[in-house]
Chains A and B, each alone.
Chain A
Amino acid sequence: MKLLASVVTAAAIAVTAAVPAQAQQGSGSPTVDAIRARGHVQCGANGQVAGFGMPNARGEWTGLDVDFCRALAAAVFGDATKVRFTTLTAQQRFTALQSGEVDVLARNTTWTLSRDTSLGLEFGAINFYDGQGFIVKRSANIKSAKELNGATICVQPGTTTELNLADYFRANRIRFTPVVIERLEENIAAYLAGRCDAYTTDVSGLASIRAANTPNPADHVILPEVISKEPLGPAVRHGDQRWADIVKWTHFAMLEAEELGVTSANVDTHANSTNPNIQRLLGTTGGLGAMMGIDNRWAYNIIKQVGNYGEIFEKNVTPLGIERGVNRLWTQGGLMYNPPIR
């Protein structure tokens, strides 16, 4: 149970020896040192949302967030398979990260001010721009979220979703009854059984549920209103800037690769490229990896073994019927923009 998990993590905070604030030698990052000593990256993943983090029928983890963790392993070890996943519920995730159970939390987590500060976390990259929406049954004949006055709405606890939901109804002066259920499966079951008139989460999550969890996707409608900004991205513990840098620039390298047209299929043909941007990205020049304490061919390994951002998006998210939308590159009118890799 999640209570047990909370107790365990609280206890873990109580008994674990303090992590030395400054590491003496090695990478200059206690997290990276721990990862190297352990031999793999421990990644906090969702486990239930198709397209972002869920094991497939063969038990292999798939998803946008999962592939991001693989890219981290490729950057640190040069081997994308050196990653293990810990399934975390919405409620467990922050304590698991705080207590050091996982190195990075890539579990469609919204970047907010309070999480960035008072939770002791560090965000930096946004790997999916999302927003909260509602899914209802087509038979209910609802066209807009404003028509949900008096509705019963299922929601998962411990999320920004729960807060946005209350905010939206307060702002529009309409009423609702929440049913707060911990696990996603029971939430979906309650929605499908008619216990709730609507289920709310990020639109990407709704599309994933509609595609993967409903008997007939056409019977369910995602309402047009997007009631919040949900910038989803990986989070790490505050205070280990070197590790936070690696996480941030791993994402940026995948964006840069897409912008430069470097894919997992053609990365080797770019090996002798004369484009200075590609030379720096692939580590031929610049020595950028060494600045982060990792191999200079870090980005080459990421692209070769995992792919660029566009590739992992198309592989994981597009099959759910989610448009690229605002998650296109800035050069194509989207919001995905990375600082220069130089």
Chain B
Amino acid sequence: MRISLNDPVFRAIFWQVVVVGTIGFVVWYLIANTLHNLEVRKIATGWTFLDREAGFAIGESLIEYEPDHSYGRALWVGALNTLRVAAIGIVLATILGTFIGIGRLSKNWLISKVCSVYVEFMRNLPLLVQLFFWWAMFQDVFPGPRQALEPITGVFFSNRGIKIPVPAEHWVHAWMGLAFLAGIAASMVVGRWAAARQAATGEQFPVLYATLGLVLGLPFVVWLIGGAPVAMDWPVLRGFNFQGGLTMTPEFAALLVGLVTYTAGFIAEIVRAGILAVPHGQTEAASALGIRRGKMLQLVILPQALRVIVPPMTSQYLNLTKNSSLAVAIGYPDLVSIANTTINQTGQAIEGIAIIMAAYLTVSLSISLFMNWYNKRIAFKER
């Protein structure tokens, strides 16, 4: 091998070594210089702060948290709050976006125009502005807790959030949860059996009804066996605020509504594009075979549309998750909000930012992996 840049093999190796070396040097320089500067400025480093008492309170939490718990636990509370709003937001945004996207294709002039206006409006306003709008709505439109609106008995709307009654705690609820999971597992088995039987004999089985029966019926039976407890935990106005029941705080509600309506605008366009991407000939061919309209959508149009829809959808899910970090502006205690407080109380900005980055990277990569797996599953299979 000649040592010359004209030699393709040598050239390829040479440039790779240069690039990797440069990147390695830059990374080394940044890390070394950071550590040096931190030391010169007498700023504490390391991860021991995670075990220290946090000392601050958090407004809403999925796990038990008190101010005497550690910074580590406080960060977990924030991470779970982020996951909660992201998970619910993704589901709701998908549903709303799909309806709007299909609505925009409707032959009904009013429906299609309303959906168009929605999409253009939502996509073209900054999300932060929308969040402030929804948050202000909750604060200024709903009355204080003493004058709370009660549209249905036990359900209260006030500027402290939405309160709904929930069944009082009972041991049977855990078993009902298990029965629900068992119902899902059983219906998957039934579905597979029904598909195999239809392939073999052509006979159809009412899978939908069987699934509903299993998923809802099993927990109901367990509930009956457990003595059918009907006690409810009602929200009651006591002192400054409602006690009991389930709360949806204005911050969570504003963030969720803002994220869902904003992201749905983009999802609607993706769904519309996906449906339009299926050639009209497919519809005509299905009609020629005598397939009914409902079945046509289910068996011919949607499976092909999904292949177009899923990859850009992944980006929207990632966007929604990352956009949830705007929560700090309206006071929802998400990961960024709590990590920021931690940074400020401990002064360890580098560690705090590293935690934020690692957490979002983990969540985003998980969503990506799942969506890639799903995309592969529905991808066109050459036979």
Contact between B42 and A158, CB atoms less than 8 A apart: no
Question: Known contacts A3-B336, A162-B341, A194-B139: does B331 contact A9 (CB below 8 Å)?
Answer: no
Residue of A nearest to B42 (CB): A120
Question: Known contacts A18-B37, A163-B345, A179-B331: does B144 contact A239 (CB below 8 Å)?
Answer: no
Chain A interface residue count, CB cutoff 8 Å, equals 59
Residue of A nearest to B326 (CB): A1
A207 to chain B, nearest CB (A): 24
Chain A residues whose CB sits within 8 angstroms of the CB of B89 once the complex forms: none
Contact between A6 and B40, CB atoms less than 8 A apart: no
Decide if B209 is an interface residue (CB 8 Å cutoff).
Answer: no
A94 to chain B, nearest CB (A): 6
Q: List 21 A-B contacts (CB under 8 A).
A: A2-B328, A2-B340, A3-B340, A94-B347, A95-B349, A114-B345, A118-B43, A119-B43, A119-B44, A150-B243, A157-B340, A159-B344, A162-B57, A170-B67, A178-B58, A180-B333, A182-B340, A186-B329, A194-B144, A195-B138, A238-B42
Residue of A nearest to B144 (CB): A194
Question: Known contacts A3-B325, A120-B43, A186-B331: does B346 contact A14 (CB below 8 Å)?
Answer: no
Q: How far apart are the CA atoms of A7 and B353 in the complex, in Å?
A: 7
A97 to chain B, nearest CB (A): 10
Q: How far apart are the CA atoms of A1 and B55 in the complex, in Å?
A: 25
Residue of A nearest to B67 (CB): A166
Contact between A119 and B328, CB atoms less than 8 A apart: no
Contact between A150 and B34, CB atoms less than 8 A apart: no
Chain B residues whose CB sits within 8 angstroms of the CB of A193 once the complex forms: 136, 139-140, 159
B349-374 near A? 1/0 per residue, CB < 8 Å: 11011001000000000000000000
Contact between B344 and A94, CB atoms less than 8 A apart: yes
Report B107-136 residues with CB < 8 Å from chain A CB. Answer: 136
Q: How far apart are the CA atoms of A154 and B159 in the complex, in Å?
A: 14
Decide if A10 is an interface residue (CB 8 Å cutoff).
Answer: yes
A71 to chain B, nearest CB (A): 26
Contact between A91 and B33, CB atoms less than 8 A apart: no
Decide if A223 is an interface residue (CB 8 Å cutoff).
Answer: no
B275-299 near A? 1/0 per residue, CB < 8 Å: 0000000000000000000000000
Decide if A130 is an interface residue (CB 8 Å cutoff).
Answer: no
Contact between B349 and A158, CB atoms less than 8 A apart: no
Q: How far apart are the CA atoms of A18 and B341 in the complex, in Å?
A: 27
B27 to chain A, nearest CB (A): 11
Q: A13-B37, A177-B57, A180-B58 are in contact. List 12 more A-B contacts (CB 8 A).
A: A1-B326, A17-B33, A19-B40, A94-B347, A119-B43, A157-B328, A158-B344, A158-B345, A162-B57, A179-B59, A182-B328, A186-B331
B36-55 near A? 1/0 per residue, CB < 8 Å: 11101111100000000001
A66-107 near B? 1/0 per residue, CB < 8 Å: 000000000000000000000000110011001000000000
Contact between B42 and A239, CB atoms less than 8 A apart: yes
Partner of B40, one of A7, A14, A18, A148: A18
Decide if A151 is an interface residue (CB 8 Å cutoff).
Answer: yes
Chain A residues whose CB sits within 8 angstroms of the CB of B68 once the complex forms: 170
Chain A residues whose CB sits within 8 angstroms of the CB of B241 once the complex forms: 150-152, 177
Report A95-138 residues with CB < 8 Å from chain B CB. Answer: 95, 98, 114-115, 118-120
Q: How far apart are the CA atoms of A1 and B337 in the complex, in Å?
A: 11
Question: Known contacts A13-B34, A19-B40: does B331 contact A162 (CB below 8 Å)?
Answer: no
Q: How far apart are the CA atoms of A293 and B372 in the complex, in Å?
A: 65
Q: How far apart are the CA atoms of A149 and B238 in the complex, in Å?
A: 10
Q: How far apart are the CA atoms of A152 and B161 in the complex, in Å?
A: 12
Chain B residues whose CB sits within 8 angstroms of the CB of A330 once the complex forms: none
Chain A residues whose CB sits within 8 angstroms of the CB of B350 once the complex forms: 10, 13-14
Decide if B220 is an interface residue (CB 8 Å cutoff).
Answer: no
Partner of B139, one of A10, A13, A15, A195: A195
Contact between B240 and A151, CB atoms less than 8 A apart: yes
Question: Known contacts A91-B340, A118-B44, A239-B40: does B329 contact A182 (CB below 8 Å)?
Answer: yes
Contact between A150 and B40, CB atoms less than 8 A apart: no
A194 to chain B, nearest CB (A): 5
Decide if B56 is an interface residue (CB 8 Å cutoff).
Answer: yes
Contact between A149 and B239, CB atoms less than 8 A apart: yes
Residue of B nearest to A92 (CB): B344
Contact between B353 and A178, CB atoms less than 8 A apart: no
Q: How far apart are the CA atoms of A1 and B37 in the complex, in Å?
A: 25
Contact between A98 and B41, CB atoms less than 8 A apart: yes
Chain A residues whose CB sits within 8 angstroms of the CB of B42 once the complex forms: 120, 238-239
The 9 closest A-B pairs by CB, nearest first: A158-B344, A119-B347, A166-B67, A193-B139, A181-B331, A120-B42, A118-B44, A150-B239, A120-B43
Report A170-191 residues with CB < 8 Å from chain B CB. Answer: 170, 176-183, 186, 189-190
Contact between B57 and A166, CB atoms less than 8 A apart: yes
Decide if A16 is an interface residue (CB 8 Å cutoff).
Answer: yes
